[in-house]
């Protein structure tokens, strides 16, 4: 598969690819389709009006990326899931590294 290839499989691979350098994060990535526009027969998670329903207690924390709007994301999470912790990724000075702050 070429990086310039324009296929559904190649586009999905870009979303799922991650450098081994970050493997310690034990990150999960979910790809879902909006139910009303879903490809028939696709075996994927489905959202309804951009929301993915998770089982209670499935989500323990949200880590907000270092360039994301932390305050708005934190306010949203506190409103819809007050028990979920919200953490922030910050750049470590002079290193190619991120630190996670509570």
Distance (Å, whole) CA 45 – CA 41: 12
Decide if 9 is inside a domain: no
In a domain, 89, yes or no: yes
Residue 15 lies in a domain: no
In a domain, 95, yes or no: yes
Residue 74 lies in a domain: yes
pLDDT at 69 over 70: yes
Per the structure, the count of domains in the chain is 1
**Distance (Å, rounded) from C-alpha 40 to C-alpha 43?**
9
pLDDT higher for 9 or 70?
70
Question: Is 20 inside any structural domain?
Answer: no
pLDDT of residue 39: 81
Closest CA to 80 of 56, 100, 47, 64: 56
The answer to whether residue 13 is domain-embedded is no
- Give 72 or 43, the one with higher predicted confidence: 72
**pLDDT per residue over 7-41, tens digit each?**
777 777 777 888 888 788 777 788 888 999 888 87
Which carries the bigger pLDDT value, residue 74 or residue 31? 74
Q: Report the share of the chain in percent with pLDDT over 90.
A: 44
Which tokens hold the place of 82?
């007050």
Range of the domain at 64: 54-102
Position 66 in a domain: yes
Q: Report whether 48 contacts 24 (CB < 8 A).
A: no
């Amino acid at each position: 598969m070429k990086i310039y290839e324009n296929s559904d499989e190649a586009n999905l691979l870009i979303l799922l690819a991650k450098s081994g350098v970050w493997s310690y994060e034990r990150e999960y990535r979910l790809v879902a389709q909006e139910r009303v526009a879903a490809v028939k027969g696709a075996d994927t998670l489905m959202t309804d009006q951009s929301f993915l329903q998770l089982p209670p207690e499935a989500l323990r924390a949200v880590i907000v990326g270092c360039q994301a709007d932390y305050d708005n994301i934190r306010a949203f999470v506190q409103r819809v899931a007050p028990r979920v912790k919200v953490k922030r990724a910050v750049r470590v000075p002079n290193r190619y590294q991120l630190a996670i702050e509570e």
